[in-house]
Structure 1
Amino acid sequence: MTDEPEKALVDCADLEPVDLSRLHAVMEQHTREWHAQLGKQLAAAAAAVVPVLPRITIPVVELDSVRRLLSEQLADLTGFNDALRRLVEPMTTVFEDHWRDQWRDMFASIGELVRNLYPENLREAVPRLEGLEVLLIDEGIPLMWVPGPQTVRALLDAPNAAARRRLIGQRWKGIASDCEAVLETVDHPRLKEDRDFALHVIAALRDGHIAAAQALAANLLDSLLQKHFDKATRIELTRNDFKAKGIKFKLDEYKVNVALTFAPVWHAHAKYFPQNGDAIPRVFGRHPSAHGVSRTQYSRVNTVYGLMLVTSVIKFFDVEMP
């Protein structure tokens, strides 16, 4: 705002009565300038955040092509709508209805930009980054493309990790159907075999063959990473040194689709060394599924975790591969 409008606002405040027509003119000028600046900021944010297809070579994905700053930009956008509302709502109590309509349209377009960052199952929930970190990284719950929006909402609303795990166990039939629906949309010719094996996981799960379903899910996950990533990329996305070094998967180093898909894959690769006396984990893991076959590791709820993981990864490649 220029010096002159600021002076005009002060002069108006000292007058009795207030010259509302002058105040409206000043605010209209301010709004035009503010809209122009906001448009530039949104354009820059969209260019930086809206997913851009990574360069994918056959059969591997080059890691440098999928590294992008994510978390700070995404956090700014997901909190942007609320921040604007806090700024503007006091003004809307003063001005006429057409002012409110302008702000409402702006909020709607910002909300649409945020929703389009996510796959369809996340668009209504529009989860905040801090909530995503807990579910994806700390608990290893896949959220990319599956489960369905109602289950996503229930997971985000659940009070703790135990409640979320219990919810996944209770909704296993619905989640299996969610995975089946997503897998049926996979049509890339290089993924046909992978998709069919994932559908075998669902069939075995529904028929009560829990151990067979979990073993297939764990091995299919490993096969997908081996087949479609080079060694360096595979190690980068699955190196889980949290127990030894306290280092977590860094969402801010990857594009949205990559971060949300592979954070729970990283969690599933927690180190497990039976030769060192490590206790068999209760939660789903790729290594204990292979080297710690037991009632502790093999369960229906863990099979559902494995199924969601392979579904997310297959759909990721279906979307991203040329």
Structure 2
Amino acid sequence: MNERHDPDPEAEKVGEADPSRIHLPDLSGLYIPRLPAIYESAIKPLQPYLEQYNHLSRFATAAARMHEFAVPRVPVHVPGLNAAIEAMRSQMADLAGFNDAITQALAPYTASAFQTARWHRVFASMAETARGIYPKNLRELTPGLDEMEKLLVDEGIPLMWVPGPSTVQALLDAPDAAARRRLIGQRWRGITNDCESVLGAVKHPSLQAARSFALDVVSALRDGHASAAQALAANLLDSILQRHLSQALRVELTRNNFKKNGDKFKLDAYKFKTACTFAPVWYAHAKYYPAKGDAIPRTFGRHPSAHGVSRNQYSRINTVYALMLVSSVLKLFDTELAR
């Protein structure tokens, strides 16, 4: 008898987005909601230094090579400034460090204490704006996209809102994927507490039923019922996506063709928080067809949780992955859904 499996997402009809559901639009680059504030705090103070703008691009490029953090394009038309911002956009990792590098580079031009203080204020403001795009657990760490991509896309580890900062730092410092997976297994109690805390802060009325089920996952996991917790978390994740995303967007965000053609989830195709939240969701939707003889994976997957129940798939560590995914997605919707 053939085993049943989920239909290939590509076979689903992709229709118009339902306006009554959340639609998270494609954007190019990072999402920073206060562009007018960036102009006021970062661009206007530079105007007295028009004669220095040609030098800024060269200094910015040299400093950016030491850092790897993407900043958004800012469409202002000041001679020489656009090139500097473009150079900063793709490579700048730490705006606080960048502040110091630029200040040193421009020392011959900003010798007075007044000018130096102004430069510090400008770049400190930019650094604070950049930190604002991160959820609370990443705000002080401010990891670069290149650093996060390996964990989010290649290993399916949720990083948005959960786990806590110390665990995120340990994951970033770990030497390889196997070490990171072991670390999650070792810290499962603390990560479960982190998820419970984030779920407790989900306040949107339309998310309360899902939040209650997610807290049931927490309780089941703590009580030693990891298999039951994983099954609930996997199905809850699917239910949340079905309810709050249009079919077109849900298919787009979960279409994982990596096994077929090597295509990966593209972080730069969506708003920053959307991309980083859904990259591990995409990873969890790797194709799995038992009727075709696919081996049951040991890493958490939505499809094998439904159609490959076994000791390979069901484990406490996979339950923790599933709980982190549910907590992260619920918190994203809590911040995005209209009230």
Give the TM-score normalised by the residue count of structure 1: 0.77
Q: Which residue of structure 2 lines up, in the alignment, with residue 114 of structure 1? A: 130
User: Alpha-carbon deviation of 1:117?
Assistant: 0.8
Per-residue deviation at 1:88? 3.0
C-alpha distance 157-100 of structure 1, shift in aligned 2 (>3 A): farther
Kept in 1: contact 2:300–2:313 (CA 8 A):
yes
Question: Among 42, 56, 61, which residue is 2:22 paired with?
Answer: 61
Q: Which residue of 2 aligns with 1:38?
A: none
Q: Which residue number corresponds to residue 177 of structure 2?
A: 161
Shift of 1:303: 0.4
* Cα distance in 2 for residues equivalent to 1:100 and 1:151: 37
The alignment status of 1:88 with 2:111, answered yes or no, reads no
Partner of 2:222: 206
Deviations 1:270-302 (A, max 9, x none): 001111111111110001111111111111111
Structure 2 CA distance, aligned partners of 1:294 and 1:230? 32
**C-alpha distance in structure 2 between counterparts of 1:144 and 1:56, whole Å:** 26
Matched letter for residue 61 of structure 1: I
Matched to 1:130, the amino acid is: D
Residue deviations 1:251-279, cap 9 Å, x none?
Answer: 11111121011111000000011111111
What is the number of residues matched between the two proteins? 265
Greater helix share, structure number: 1
1: CA distance, partners of 2:204 / 2:105: 51
For 1:314, the equivalent position in structure 2 comes to 330
- Is 1:115–1:126's contact at 8 Å kept on the other side of the alignment? yes
**Stretch deviating more after TM superposition (70-79 or 202-211):** 70-79
How many Å apart are 1:120 and its aligned residue? Answer: 0.7
Q: Which has the larger radius of gyration?
A: 1
For 2:145 and 2:214, the matched residues in 1 are separated by 29
The amino acid across from 1:142 in the alignment is P
Q: Which residue of 1 aligns with 2:252?
A: 236
Partner of 2:146: 130
CA contact (8 A) 1:66 1:258 kept: no
CA shift, 1:145, in A, is 0.9
**Structure 2 contact 99–120 (Cα < 8 Å) conserved:** no
**C-alpha separation between the residues in 2 aligned to 1:56 and 1:225?**
13
Decide whether aligned partners of structure 1 residues 56 and 129 sit closer, same or farther in structure 2, where only a CA change above 3 A counts. Answer: farther
Taking only aligned residues, the RMSD between alpha carbons, in angstroms, comes to 2.1
Aligned mate of 2:196, from 165, 168, 180: 180
Identity of aligned pairs, percent? 57
Instruction: Quote the Cα distance in structure 1 between the aligned partners of 2:18 and 2:167.
Output: 32
Secondary structure of 1:105's partner? Answer: helix
Worse-superposed segment, 130-139 or 84-93:
84-93
Specify the alignment match of 1:79 in structure 2: 93
For residue 93 of structure 2, what is the amino acid of its counterpart?
Answer: G
Cα separation, 2, equivalents of 1:109 and 1:77: 19
Distance, in Å, in 1 between the alignment partners of 2:265 and 2:71 is 17
In 1: Cα distance, 2:335 partner to 2:274 partner: 11
Out of 191, 209, 226, which is 2:242 matched to? 226
For 1:80 and 1:181, locate their aligned partners in 2 and report how far apart those are by CA, in whole Å.
Answer: 28
